[in-house]
């Protein structure tokens, strides 16, 4: 939190701006390179992220241009310098940039959210309808809040917008300051809410996927990285309520934390594509365990007697020669049909008389529902992996 007019020097502020611009641009270019290297087509989430980066690039460069003007005005107010010949032109330029940057700021943040939502949409195929309804509700809420931030922000900041643009009038009356403060708090609230909505939707999806626990935790942390944006957004607005009264925050403070927050958002938007180049953990063939649809360890022809826990001895019994001989003599026993790769299982035909196990309609229905659920979760897992490749 700033403590005075001299809380940061012009050199330090510009150095931070240049560093964030360079880092964000490097990550964004790396994302484009990975996408081109993997020959992935440009999709909706890519276009939305390009728009977000264009907005970020525009207002960051403009902020760098007007930063010296802020420090000149500060020196003038402190009586350290006299008015300079181009002072009015500089003030008008700074006013126009600050007004326009509000639109670009919200566009950058919200289009990163739209990009992530477009990515999540690919994961919803085969999932229950409720997830699709939640996705549409999140999208509509994000569109509405983005529109209201743009309308209520720059549009209602000043009583006389024409004087603000043409003469560089300062919108600092008590009424204008209250509106500006209310708009900042409103924008902060909806930004936080939409960040939470965009984060929790994929976390709920991957929680039900059949994947390794470390990989599931990694995906969850990736999607939960929006908490960093919430932290920076909180720091950005905290100065507004520093003394408990409505006040116009220091423009230097706003520009610095605006650039930091949007840089973080763009980098987070690039992470799903960049995560595809992270080397996957390799396991030795001897340690690899494959499971069938009922959760038992699947035995390969050359490993039927080793590596399987004792709790799954039933599988060894069924695959032993003694079991095969007894099954040939007794036609009433259970028969298990397998393919060459032992990838499928079939229930025996229904028995109504004789020896053997009776398979009721209820058991058949439970088996069918379990197979259907396994297939849906496997499709969702494959879509998640394909979206990261």
How do residues 210-243 score in pLDDT, each as one tens digit? 667 676 676 777 777 778 888 888 888 876 555 5
- Is residue 254 within 8 Å of residue 14, measured between CB atoms? no
SS3 326: helix
* Cα–Cα distances in angstroms (integers) from residue 222 to residues 72, 215, 268, in the given order: 42, 11, 8
- For residue 78, what is the domain's CATH number? 1.20.1070
Helix (H) or strand (E) holding 354: none
Across the chain, which distance is largest between two alpha carbons, in Å?
Answer: 109
* Number of domains the chain contains: 1
How do residues 241-251 score in pLDDT, each as one tens digit? 555 555 666 78
In-domain check, residue 313: no
In-domain check, residue 256: yes
Q: Report the C-alpha gap between 155 and 149 in whole angstroms.
A: 9
- Give the structural domain span for 208: 10-277
pLDDT along the chain (389 residues), means of 10: 66 94 96 91 94 96 93 88 90 86 92 93 81 93 93 74 73 80 88 90 71 69 80 79 61 89 94 77 50 52 46 44 47 43 48 52 78 80 70
N-term to C-term CA, the chain: 41
In-domain check, residue 293: no
Count other C-beta atoms under 10 Å from residue 102's C-beta.
20
In-domain check, residue 360: no
- Name 297's bridge partners: 291
Tokens of 128: 């229950």
pLDDT of residue 335: 43
In-domain check, residue 291: no
Taking CA 44 as the corner, what is the angle to CA 39 and CA 47, rounded to the nearest 5 degrees?
A: 80
In-domain check, residue 71: yes
- Is residue 97 within 8 Å of residue 63, measured between CB atoms? yes
Tokens of 185: 């708090």
pLDDT of residue 312: 45
In-domain check, residue 341: no
In-domain check, residue 131: yes
Residue 125 phi, psi dihedral angles, 5° rounding:
-65, 125
Q: Report the C-alpha gap between 57 and 22 in whole angstroms.
A: 10
pLDDT of residue 45: 93
């Amino acid at each position: 939190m700033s403590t005075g007019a001299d809380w940061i020097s012009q050199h330090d502020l510009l150095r931070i701006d240049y560093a964030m611009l360079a880092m964000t641009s490097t990550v964004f270019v790396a994302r484009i390179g990975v996408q081109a290297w993997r020959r992935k087509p440009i999709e909706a989430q890519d276009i939305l992220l390009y728009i977000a980066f264009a907005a970020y690039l525009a207002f960051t460069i403009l902020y760098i241009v007007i930063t010296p003007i802020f420090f000149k005005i500060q020196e003038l107010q402190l009586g350290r310098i006299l008015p300079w010949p181009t002072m009015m032109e500089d003030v008008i330029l700074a006013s126009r940039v600050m007004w326009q940057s509000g639109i670009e700021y919200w566009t950058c943040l919200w289009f990163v959210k739209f990009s992530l939502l477009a990515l999540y949409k690919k994961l919803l195929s085969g999932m229950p309808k409720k997830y699709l309804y939640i996705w549409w509700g999140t999208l509509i809420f994000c569109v509405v809040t983005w529109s209201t931030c743009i309308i209520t922000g720059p549009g209602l900041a000043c009583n006389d917008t024409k004087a603000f643009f043409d003469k560089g009038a300062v919108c600092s009356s008590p009424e204008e300051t209250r509106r500006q403060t209310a708009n900042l708090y409103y924008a902060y609230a909806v930004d936080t809410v939409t960040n939470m909505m965009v984060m929790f939707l994929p976390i709920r999806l991957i929680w039900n996927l059949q994947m390794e626990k470390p990989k599931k935790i990694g995906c969850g942390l990736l999607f939960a990285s929006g908490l960093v944006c919430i932290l920076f957004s909180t720091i950005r607005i905290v100065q507004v309520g520093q003394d408990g009264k409505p006040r116009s925050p220091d423009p230097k403070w706003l520009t610095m934390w605006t650039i930091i927050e949007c840089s973080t958002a763009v980098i987070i938007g690039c992470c799903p594509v960049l995560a595809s180049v992270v080397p996957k953990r390799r396991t030795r063939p001897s340690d690899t365990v494959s499971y069938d649809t009922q959760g038992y360890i699947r035995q390969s022809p050359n490993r039927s007697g080793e590596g399987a826990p004792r709790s799954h001895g039933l599988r060894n019994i069924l695959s032993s020669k003694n079991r095969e001989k007894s099954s040939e003599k007794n036609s009433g026993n259970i028969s298990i049909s397998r393919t060459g790769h032992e990838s499928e299982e079939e229930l025996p035909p229904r028995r109504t008389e004789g020896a053997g196990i009776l398979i009721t309609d209820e058991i058949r229905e439970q088996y069918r529902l379990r197979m259907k659920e396994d297939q849906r979760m496997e499709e969702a897992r494959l879509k998640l992996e394909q979206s990261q490749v």
